[in-house]
Amino acid sequence: MNVIVVGCGRVGSQLAYQLSRKGHQVTVVDQVVTAFKNLPPDFVGRRVQGELLSQDVLRRAGIEQAEGLAAVTNSDSFNAVVAHLARTAFQVPRIVVRNFDPHWRPFHEAFGLPVVSSSLWTAQRVEELLAEAPLRPVLSLGDGEVKIWELTVPEAWAGRALQDLVAECHYLPVALTRAGRGFLATPEISLEAGDLVHLTATPEGIQSLRNRLNLPQEV
């Protein structure tokens, strides 16, 4: 895929590097030439320096052939305008916008742009991990009939196999995280207290899991 990354700060440089490592053709645009120092030495994509809102600069970056554009500067107004320009003037098919200040998110959404709000996501994730609830939803799929849940393995289940937890129940384990490291949720893996098990489940399945673990009902 031919991708333009607008903004070469910490997010943009990392995104550009990851995309190029996966074989995509990547061009990074920033108005400050020293920003390109954020890129790793082995980055193989293009660098274009210039005014971010200039159509000439965007053309130099290859926007007329771009299949995707990520606007990830730390300026929400720049991100929104660049993305809107890419969509309306150049018909770039895939566009993602970084939301830096949560107060600007409605503005991005008003443009109909896919938004990644790192501040909101981080705050939500920290809140989830601080909460005492041993079972919490982390992602809703479709119309909400299926969700991905995160279960903190209770002390009583330490030493038991994951297959004991999921036997004859209507939920499907996806992954397990232990001390920050992720593992595939294989049936024979032995659980430890504090492990995070991610699983998919319907409302009926999650109710079955609550009953199985003697967890309090959701308020």
pLDDT band at 219; cut points 50, 70, 90: very low
Give the integer Cα–Cα distance in Å for 47 and 39.
Answer: 10
Q: Name 16's Cβ contacts closer than 8 Å, sequence gap at least 6.
A: 5, 8, 26, 28, 39, 43, 45
Work out whether the CA dihedral 70, 73, 74, 80 comes out positive or negative: negative
Helix (H) or strand (E) holding 98: strand 94-99
Of 30-34, 154-158, 170-174, minimum mean pLDDT range: 170-174
Q: Is 188 helix (H, G, I), strand (E, B) or coil?
A: coil
pLDDT digit string, tens, across residues 120-162? 777 766 776 676 678 888 777 766 678 888 888 888 889 999 8
pLDDT value of position 38: 96
Q: Which two tokens stand for residue 49?
A: 């320096």
pLDDT band at 90; cut points 50, 70, 90: very high
pLDDT band at 68; cut points 50, 70, 90: very high
183 and 177 in contact (C-beta within 8 Å)?
yes
Residue labelled with tokens 């790793």 = 40
pTM for the whole structure:
0.66
pLDDT value of position 144: 66
Q: Work out the average pLDDT over 62-67.
A: 96
Q: Which domains does the chain have, with CATH numbers?
A: 2-120 (3.40.50.720), 131-213 (3.30.70.1450)
Of 17-21, 92-96, 103-107, 122-126, minimum mean pLDDT range: 122-126
Higher pLDDT, 163 or 23: 23
Angstrom distances, CA of residue 95 to CA of 5, 6, 46, 144? 10, 11, 19, 25
Which residues does residue 178 pair with via DSSP β-bridges, in sequence order?
A: 181
pLDDT digit string, tens, across residues 10-28? 999 999 999 999 999 999 9
Residue 148: exposure state from Cβ atoms within 10 A (0-12, 13-18, ≥19): middle
pLDDT band at 202; cut points 50, 70, 90: confident
Q: Is residue 218 pLDDT above 80, yes or no? A: no
Give the integer Cα–Cα distance in Å for 136 and 74.
Answer: 31
Q: Return the C-alpha torsion angle 89, 90, 95, 98, nearest 10.
A: -50
How much of the chain exceeds pLDDT 70, in percent? Answer: 93
Q: Name 46's Cβ contacts closer than 8 Å, sequence gap at least 6.
A: 26, 27, 28, 61, 62
